[in-house]
């Protein structure tokens, strides 16, 4: 049952990747992002069957007394011949079949003188178990006997006399079947109590964990609430959807403080349905040094015509100030000085680049006569920057996609596998930090949990 418990533990253990393309580690606290994660969860009935089989010994029942039950002169032993089988019903129920081999011995006689004869036969005992998942993280079951199916009927053979003892055996087995039903409920209640594991998971992941030692980056997950859809039963599995509302916070530099631990997990909400896709927001950092390299590769040593003369860009750098990205181009030739083009960084989905919008221009030059060329020069260089300059995001997108899918396709615990796919990923809002540009990457994905090999 360990793996079934772990699927709740793992529900809080989603891994979010952050990608960087430079080895700088800006000390900056990214925005607290609210996300909603939905995971279809599949529990094969074979896993629950393994749990039940492990809790039921081979010898199910034994009556070694001739004189009990009003001196019935009857002994019986009941063994489990094959593994107990579970099949999903149609109304949140399980149909349970228990194949049994029975040895019985009956005494025939009067006045204390009996002749004993034994026989061995087989039957299949059936149960109907309804299951409900309570919002306090416990499972409630109600198991009821559902009759017998004889494989071979019990008959005592005294030579010329053959005595059917079906009714006698059934009476005893019905009594034991009722007790056995209670045992199944007790075992399930003990094994399927997830409260302590929900507390453990919540507290474990209230601790920030390092998602990038190279960039000294930390992720802190704060669960807000949990939504779960009703259990659905099929022929060989139980399915449900787990939806979690969380805050994810990314930090660089020193390790952030942990969230307050809890002693009991709050109740989850039961909802009729959840989307099978979820939106995940992660962040990717582009240092200004990299933004500067991109600009230099594009514009260094380029020449432009202004009034029949040449203006050459001999150096360029990119930095941030007052919520804007500044591109500072040092020029020589007809215009000697520094041209500053500032803008608000936004993501252009068509170009797949982070570009500048709402641009402003300023020229710093010692030669006052050159300022007459400002309008002409402004038009050329601003248009150039707006049309050509941009930070390509395809590498960031591919790296983030790879990182997330690697995290979504692992066996974190033995017997518990995650299978996920990112099918849409793009930068959304673009933020500035003291050392670079941060793209908030919006990711649509699917995720599935599978349990095997309890």
pLDDT in tens, 284-295: 778 898 889 888
Q: Give the tens place of pLDDT for each residue, 267-325.
A: 888 888 877 676 666 677 788 988 898 889 888 888 877 777 788 889 999 999 988 99
pTM, rounded to two decimals: 0.58
172-200: b or e for each residue (b if 16 or more CB lie within 10 Å)?
Answer: bbeebbeebbebbbebbeebbebeebbbb
Mean pLDDT of the chain: 77
Cβ-proximal residues to 241 (8 Å cutoff; 6+ apart), any chain: 38, 39, 40, 41, 228, 229, 273, 274, 276
Domain assignment of residue 187, yes or no: yes
Which strand (E) or helix (H) includes residue 96? strand 93-110
Q: Is residue 128 part of a domain?
A: yes
- Domain range for 174 is 46-191
Tens digit of each residue's pLDDT (9 = 90 or more) over 408-440: 777 755 666 777 888 888 888 888 888 888 888
What tens digit of pLDDT does each residue of 108-160 get?
A: 777 777 777 788 889 898 999 998 888 888 888 899 999 888 888 888 776 77
Question: What pLDDT shows up at residue 184?
Answer: 81
Res 348 pLDDT > 50: yes
**pLDDT for the residue 452:** 56
As a whole number, mean pLDDT of residues 379-402 equals 80
Cβ–Cβ under 8 Å, residues 3 and 191: no
Cβ–Cβ under 8 Å, residues 430 and 439: yes
What is the β-pairing status of strands 155-158 and 391-392? unpaired
Q: Both tokens of residue 424?
A: 């849409």
31 part of a folded domain: no
Dist. CA 449–CA 12, nearest whole Å: 12
Quote the number of domains for the chain: 1
CA distance 97 to 149: 10
Report the pLDDT averaged over residues 72-81.
Answer: 82
Is residue 125 within 8 Å of 180, Cβ to Cβ? yes
Assess contact for 263 and 286: CB atoms under 8 A.
no
């Amino acid at each position: 049952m360990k793996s079934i418990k772990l699927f709740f533990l793992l529900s809080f253990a989603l891994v979010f990747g952050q990608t960087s393309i430079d080895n700088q580690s800006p000390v900056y606290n990214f925005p607290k992002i609210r996300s909603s994660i939905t995971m279809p969860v599949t529990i094969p009935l074979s896993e629950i069957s393994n749990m039940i089989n492990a809790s039921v010994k081979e010898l199910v029942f034994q009556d070694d007394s001739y004189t009990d039950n009003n001196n019935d002169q009857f002994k019986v032993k009941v063994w489990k011949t094959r593994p107990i089988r579970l099949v999903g019903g149609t109304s949140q129920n399980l149909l349970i079949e228990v194949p049994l081999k029975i040895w019985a011995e009956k005494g025939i006689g009067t006045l204390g003188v009996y002749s004993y004869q034994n026989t061995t036969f087989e039957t299949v005992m059936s149960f109907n178990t309804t299951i409900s998942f309570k919002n306090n993280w416990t499972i409630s079951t109600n198991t009821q006997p559902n009759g017998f199916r004889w494989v071979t009927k019990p008959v005592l053979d005294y030579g010329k006399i053959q005595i059917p003892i079906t009714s006698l055996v059934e009476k005893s087995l019905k009594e034991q079947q009722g007790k056995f039903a209670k045992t199944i409920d007790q075992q399930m209640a003990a094994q399927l109590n997830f409260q302590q594991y929900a507390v453990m998971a919540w507290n474990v992941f209230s601790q920030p964990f390092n998602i990038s030692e190279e960039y000294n980056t930390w992720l802190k997950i704060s669960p807000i609430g949990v939504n779960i859809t009703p259990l659905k039963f099929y022929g060989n599995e139980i399915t449900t959807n787990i939806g979690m509302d969380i805050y994810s916070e990314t930090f660089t530099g020193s390790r952030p403080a942990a969230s307050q631990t809890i002693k009991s997990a709050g109740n989850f909400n039961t909802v009729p349905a959840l989307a099978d896709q979820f939106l995940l927001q992660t962040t990717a950092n582009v240092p200004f040094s990299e933004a500067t390299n991109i600009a230099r590769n594009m514009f260094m040593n380029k020449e432009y015509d202004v009034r029949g003369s040449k203006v050459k860009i001999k150096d360029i750098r990119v930095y941030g100030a007052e919520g804007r990205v500044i591109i500072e181009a040092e020029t020589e030739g007809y215009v000697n000085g520094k041209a500053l083009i500032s803008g608000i960084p936004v993501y252009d989905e068509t170009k797949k680049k982070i570009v500048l919008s709402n641009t402003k221009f300023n020229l710093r030059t010692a030669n006052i006569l050159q300022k007459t060329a400002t309008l002409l020069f402004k038009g050329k260089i601003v248009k150039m920057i707006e049309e050509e300059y941009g930070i390509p995001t395809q590498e960031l997108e591919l790296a983030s996609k790879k990182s997330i899918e690697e995290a979504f396709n692992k066996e974190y615990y033995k017997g518990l596998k995650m299978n996920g796919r990112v099918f849409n990923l793009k930068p959304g809002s673009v933020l500035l930090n003291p050392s670079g540009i941060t793209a908030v990457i919006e990711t649509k994905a699917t995720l599935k949990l599978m349990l095997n090999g309890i």
